[in-house]
Amino acid sequence: MDEQTTTAAASAEARFIGETGLAAQVAALAEPVLADLGFRLVRVVISGRDGATLQIMAERPDGMLSVEECAIISRQLSPVLDAHDPIEGHYNLEVSSPGIDRPLVRPSDFEVWAGYEAKLEMREPIAGRKRFRGMLEGIEADEVRIEVDLGGELGTQVIGLPVMKIADARLVLTDDLIREALRRAK
């Protein structure tokens, strides 16, 4: 697969973590606008009293996003949000990149960030645990492979966690992650 095909496939890949309620309505409006501009949605968060801040987190297929691109997205997205008016009252639109300790929302994120530490929270307990923290090993057969310390005699092992049972996943801010983020930004 050439780089252009890989980029197109990554752009079209669906998020396995989605929003609910009002944030889901905003995501449904934002995703097509972002796709038309060549970006992909990472997350929508509505926070503050009475929905005072609407945060749209987006990225290029390579995982980056510049300040100028945030401005472009904001200018294109604002009229769509104004026309559909999903949030009552006044709110501030904030467009941002995922940041260094980014959320992992697509299966490919676990491949791209293999070798870096992550925290995962499951929708339901697996072997009595809902939270896992360890080194990402990638993805295999719809399972995130992660090296975790299981404690006691079990020690450190690579386990598989079903992607569709993950409620939240994000990278852990480490020196190695900061170095990689700086390298990718160049």
Mean of all residue pLDDT scores within the chain: 90
pLDDT at residue 5 tops 70: no
| Model pLDDT for residues 36-62, shown as the tens digit of each residue | 999 999 999 999 865 589 999 999 998
How confident is residue 184, by pLDDT bands cut at 50, 70 and 90?
Answer: confident
Question: Is there a contact between 87 and 22 (Cβ–Cβ < 8 Å)?
Answer: yes
119 compared with 186, residue with greater pLDDT? 119
> How far apart, in whole angstroms, are the C-alpha atoms of residue 48 and residue 35?
27
5 compared with 24, residue with greater pLDDT? 24
Sign of CA dihedral 34, 38, 40, 45: negative
> How far apart, in whole angstroms, are the C-alpha atoms of residue 131 and residue 79?
40
pLDDT recorded at residue 137: 97
The strands making up 53-59's β-sheet, listed across from edge to edge, are 40-47, 53-59, 92-96
Strongest mean pLDDT among 2-6, 34-38, 181-185 = 34-38
> How far apart, in whole angstroms, are the C-alpha atoms of residue 61 and residue 39?
7
Average pLDDT over residues 14-37: 94
Pairing of strands 143-149, 156-162: antiparallel
pLDDT recorded at residue 1: 40
pLDDT at residue 169 tops 70: yes
Please state the pTM of the whole predicted model: 0.85
Average pLDDT over residues 127-155: 93
| Model pLDDT for residues 70-95, shown as the tens digit of each residue | 999 999 999 999 999 998 888 999 99
